[in-house]
């Protein structure tokens, strides 16, 4: 998965997501989730990392299960607490369908995110999807700022604490300095990029041209044609 | 011989404000390395940004005059052409990279100026070996120390191969050893490739034996007389607010009267990621005493201070006046104050006055006291202005005053004189040390300036390989 062209991978997985959205069958959703997990693990992602990442997904999936379980088409409204445990097959099926959708979408999302190098992704999007270079490299530069943002957040919080002032995690007085700093950082960063010759309009050479190989075409065909055809035929 | 020509420059950051440069005319030639120095806020960095063609495109407006670099008007050139003429190295090593690794950053620079793909590898390896950082090629930029980042920034410039190097306080954030290594690489670049060098710096010691001439700037004007870098007279420099190499700050401190222990560290261990930064540090700090902490970039000074301010988790104990800092009561918060390297990191108020009032809010007559403090640091006229709109020197004065106004017993300052000229350095340190003596505060500051540590501290501590140890003054 890591060696696939990111633009092809992105379009293929997007197509799979769209197809799954049109099929209301938990088998296909759960299969997509299971295949995604296997491919992620086969790409060298540590099982512990993956499990940690899946914790919020499982929570959301359980939430969606109960939502689907309770709010089927034939459910009475308004919802009564005493009716909550009355369950038929359709309730459970609806719950599993909702749950499996969360798992499928999250699995596919993680499959892309965890098996794609961000630099190669931006280069590929720029070359194959014609993403404007000012947007592509701006995105990469902004990415570099995120770790600083987390540290600055803790620094600002510590500054308030040192003065005996209690602040809530997202209080405006805490976020205002961060906002000021992020504007200042982006200005400094854009000046630094310009001083290194970066321009939105100028022609650039490419140190690592990202090509489309046979395996990329095969993966795209598999995702965009074979999988949907099988799903439609067996549905 | 190449030349930078600045002709009758009038530049202002905003309409209605006094121009930072008012009719400035001068020239620099590439036959020697020139260091431009002068008091903080005199317009040195502004001049450099204009010379690099980054201003007025990115800030301010050029009211009059023109800049010619190698006979060409930079404002008419696109960034790729401009950077082949003038490459810039910035003060803050954190905010000058776009990519993730050193290798990718160098490739990014070469792609910008359309270097053919076949030439890139050779240029990349030449740049890395020129700066002595071949081993950093695959390292992520985030994992580099300040000194390593500045070396990577210099490698980018070597790869671009500009005709001029313009350096804005390139050593402000790094230790002396890294600074000397970078200065000597810049010297070689000038000698071997004929690259013109114009550097802005407050401290001249790193340029001894490398720079050819020193230009002094005052109030937006360059003094006609250029100083010979090989014969610098300390008195002449100090009278202009410049830190003379090896010159003493000669502080007049009250005699030491050490009090009881206020802060005690027991086996303090800090890890960041998988890296062990501080390894079982034990030390005690007493009221009224002034401590300087020195060490190479990345040795752990800022990590130690960040840990004490609660930013990084730690093992071991930090005890403030007999109470474990992990379990401080609300009334104890504020007993330990922090002055950060960047004063903006500590602002909590919307205006200058609110910043002081935040520290005085438990006191009677807070309003009148805040006025007194602001008048004493000459910021009363800016009382209703946002602290972020003050100059860097003013922000630092405000940050220091705001924390000292609070009843703290231990004050920790992370490089309080970072990028300050001699006058400001002395003003900041004199004020901090006077307050430490008067209010019997344990003052702990970090610095890269060994002379500053020697002149102001009662005890000098070093950090190396995760350990904190006392350094006898004689061995500095």
* B116, B107 Cβ separation under 8 angstroms: no
Q: Assess if residue B187 is contained within a domain.
A: yes
- Within 8 A by CB and 6+ apart from B231, the residues are none
| B273 has a chain A CB within 8 A of its CB | no
Closest residue, chain B, to A203 (C-alpha): B114
Report the domain count for chain A.
2
Q: Would you tell me how many other CB atoms lie within 10 Å of the CB of residue B126? A: 14
Shared domain for A32 and A139, answered yes or no, is: no
Q: Is residue A168 part of a domain?
A: yes
Q: Are A189 and B330 within 8 A, CB to CB?
A: no
pLDDT digits (tens, 9 = 90+) for B32-67: 899 998 877 788 888 999 998 888 888 888 888 888
- Enumerate the H helices of A115-171 as residue ranges: 118-128, 133-162
Instruction: Supply angle C-alpha B421, B390, B38, rounded to 5.
Output: 20
Strand, helix or coil at A132?
coil
Question: Per the structure block, which two tokens stand in for A198?
Answer: 């970066």
Provide the number of structural domains found in chain B.
Answer: 2
**pLDDT tens-place string over residues B382-436:** 899 888 878 777 887 888 888 777 778 899 988 888 777 777 788 888 888 888 8
Within 8 A of A209 by CB-CB distance, chain B residues are: 117
Q: How far does the CA of residue A141 sit from the closest CA of chain B (Å)?
A: 4
Residue keyed to tokens 């069958």: A25
| Smallest Cα distance from B292 to chain A, Å | 21
Chain A residue numbers with beta carbons less than 8 Å from the beta carbon of B50 are none
With beta carbons less than 8 A apart as the criterion, state whether B39 and B218 touch: yes
Please tell me whether residues B233 and B377 are part of one structural domain.
no
Question: Which residue in A119, A172, A196, A203 has the most chain B C-beta atoms within 10 A of its own C-beta, making it the best mutation to test that interface?
Answer: A196
CATH classification at residue B380: 3.40.50.300
Residues B266 and B220 in one domain: no
Interchain pair A173, B348: CB under 8 A: yes
Taking CB atoms and an 8 Å limit, are A163 and B94 in contact across chains?
no
Cβ–Cβ below 8 Å for B113 and A197: yes
Which residue in A162, A183, A205 has the most chain B C-beta atoms within 10 A of its own C-beta, making it the best mutation to test that interface? A162
Are residues B235 and B267 located together in one domain of the fold?
no
- Three-state SS at B232: coil
Instruction: Using pLDDT thresholds of 50, 70 and 90, give the confidence band for residue B106.
Output: very high
Per-residue pLDDT of B270-329, as tens digits, reads: 998 778 889 999 999 999 999 999 987 778 888 898 888 888 889 999 998 888 888 877
Which of these ranges, B249-263, B268-282, B372-386, has the smallest mean pLDDT? Answer: B249-263
Domain annotation covers residue B24: yes
For residue A113, name the pLDDT band (cuts at 50, 70, 90).
Answer: very high
Distance CA B67, CA B47 (A): 10
* B80: contact with A, CB 8 A cutoff: yes
The reply to whether residue A191 touches residue B340, judged by beta carbons under 8 angstroms, is no
User: Are A217 and A102 within one domain?
Assistant: yes
How much is the pLDDT for B174? Answer: 75
Summarised one tens digit per residue, pLDDT across range B126-139 is: 999 988 889 999 99
Q: How many residues does chain B have?
A: 476
B99/A173 CB distance under 8 A: no
A202, part of any domain: no
Instruction: Quickly state the pLDDT bin for B164 (edges 50, 70, 90).
Output: very high
Q: Which residues contact B445 (CB under 8 A, 6 or more apart)?
A: B290, B291, B292, B293, B412, B413, B414, B415, B416, B432, B456, B457
- Do the Cβ atoms of A207 and B117 come within 8 Å? yes
- Domain-terminating residue out of B208, B239, B270: B239
Work out the minimum CA distance from A79 to partner chain B, whole angstroms: 46
pLDDT confidence of A165, banded at 50, 70, 90?
confident
β-pairing, B213-218 vs B33-38, is: parallel
Same domain, A11 and A93: yes
The pLDDT value recorded for residue B159 is 94
Residue of B nearest to A147 (CA): B142
Q: How far is CA B199 from CA A118, B67, B87, in A?
A: 35, 17, 12
Residue of higher predicted confidence among B141 and B474: B141
Element (H, E) at A63: helix A47-70
Segment A208-220, tens digit of pLDDT: 888 898 999 998 8
Task: Give, in order, the Cα–Cα distances in Å from A67 to each of A23, A31, A55, A86, A91.
Answer: 19, 22, 19, 14, 10
Segments forming the whole domain that contains residue A171: 133-195
Do A31 and A86 reside in the same domain of the chain? yes
A181-225 confidence digits (pLDDT tens): 888 888 888 899 999 999 888 888 988 888 898 999 998 888 888
Q: Which helix (H) or strand (E) holds B339?
A: strand B336-339
Model pLDDT, residue A10: 93
Higher pLDDT, A73 or B271: B271
Q: Is the model's pLDDT at A73 over the cut of 70?
A: no
B88 contact A CB<8A: yes
Q: What is the 3-state secondary structure (H, E, C) of B148-169?
A: HHHHHHHHHHHHHCCCEEEEEC
């Amino acid at each position: 998965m890591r060696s696939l062209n990111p633009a092809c991978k992105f379009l293929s997985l997007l197509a799979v997501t769209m197809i799954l959205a049109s099929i209301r069958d938990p088998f296909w959703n759960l299969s997509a989730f299971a295949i995604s997990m296997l491919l992620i693990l086969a790409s060298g992602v540590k099982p512990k990392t993956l499990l940690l990442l899946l914790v919020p997904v499982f929570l959301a999936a359980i939430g969606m299960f109960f939502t689907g379980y309770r709010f089927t088409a034939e459910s009475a409204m308004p919802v009564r607490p005493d009716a909550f445990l009355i369950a038929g097959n359709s309730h459970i099926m609806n719950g599993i369908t909702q749950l499996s959708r969360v798992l499928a979408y999250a699995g596919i999302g993680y499959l892309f995110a965890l098996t794609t190098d961000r630099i190669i992704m931006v280069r590929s999007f720029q070359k194959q999807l014609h993403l404007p270079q000012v947007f592509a490299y701006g995105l990469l530069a902004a990415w570099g700022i995120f770790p600083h943002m987390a540290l600055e957040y803790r620094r600002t919080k510590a500054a308030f604490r040192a003065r005996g002032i209690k602040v809530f995690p997202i209080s405006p007085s805490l976020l205002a300095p961060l906002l000021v700093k992020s504007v200042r950082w982006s200005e400094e960063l854009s000046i630094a990029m310009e001083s290194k010759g970066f321009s939105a309009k100028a022609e650039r050479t490419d140190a690592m041209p990202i090509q489309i190989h046979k395996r990329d075409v095969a993966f795209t065909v598999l995702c965009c044609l074979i999988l949907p055809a099988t799903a439609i035929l067996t549905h | 011989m190449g030349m930078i020509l600045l002709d009758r420059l009038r530049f202002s950051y905003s309409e209605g404000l006094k121009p930072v440069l008012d009719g400035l005319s001068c020239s620099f030639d590439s036959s020697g390395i020139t260091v431009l120095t002068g008091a903080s806020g005199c317009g040195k960095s502004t001049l450099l940004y204009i010379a690099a063609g980054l201003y007025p495109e990115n800030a301010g407006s050029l009211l009059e005059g023109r800049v010619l670099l190698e006979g060409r008007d930079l404002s008419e050139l696109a960034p790729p052409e401009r950077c082949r003429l003038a490459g810039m190295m910035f003060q803050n090593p954190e905010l000058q990279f776009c990519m993730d690794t050193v290798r990718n950053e160098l490739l990014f620079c070469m792609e910008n100026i359309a270097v053919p793909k076949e030439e890139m590898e050779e240029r990349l390896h030449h740049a890395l070996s020129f700066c002595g950082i071949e081993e950093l090629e695959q390292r992520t930029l985030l994992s580099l120390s300040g000194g390593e980042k500045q070396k990577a920034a210099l490698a980018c410039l070597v790869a671009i191969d500009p005709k001029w190097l313009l350096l804005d306080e390139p050593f402000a954030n790094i230790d002396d050893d890294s600074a000397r290594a970078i200065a000597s690489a810049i010297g070689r670049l000038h000698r071997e490739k004929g690259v013109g060098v114009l550097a802005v710096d407050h401290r001249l010691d790193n340029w001894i034996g490398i720079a050819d001439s020193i230009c002094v700037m005052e109030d937006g004007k360059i003094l006609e007389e250029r100083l010979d870098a090989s014969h610098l007279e300390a008195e002449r420099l100090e009278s202009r607010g410049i830190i003379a190499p090896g010159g003493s700050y000669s502080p007049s401190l009250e005699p030491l009267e050490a009090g009881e222990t206020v802060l005690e560290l027991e086996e303090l261990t800090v890890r960041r990621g998988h890296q062990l930064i501080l390894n079982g540090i034990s030390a005690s700090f007493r009221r009224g005493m002034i401590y300087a902490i020195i060490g190479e970039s990345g040795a752990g000074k800022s990590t130690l201070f960040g840990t004490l301010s609660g930013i990084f988790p730690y093992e071991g104990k930090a005890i403030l006046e007999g109470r474990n800092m992990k379990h401080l009561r609300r009334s104890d918060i504020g007993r330990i104050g922090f002055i950060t390297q960047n004063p903006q990191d500590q602002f909590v108020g919307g205006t200058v006055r609110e910043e002081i009032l935040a520290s005085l809010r438990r006191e009677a007559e807070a309003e009148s006291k805040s006025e007194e403090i602001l008048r004493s640091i000459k910021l009363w006229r800016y009382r209703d202005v946002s602290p972020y709109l003050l100059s860097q020197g003013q922000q630092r004065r405000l940050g220091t005053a705001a924390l000292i106004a609070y009843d703290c017993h231990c004050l920790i300052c992370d490089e309080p004189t970072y990028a300050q000229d001699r006058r400001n350095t002395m003003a900041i340190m004199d004020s901090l040390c006077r307050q430490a003596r008067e209010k019997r505060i344990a003052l702990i500051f970090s610095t890269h300036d060994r002379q500053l540590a020697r002149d102001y501290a009662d005890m000098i501590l070093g950090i190396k390989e995760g350990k904190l140890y006392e350094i006898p003054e004689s061995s500095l």
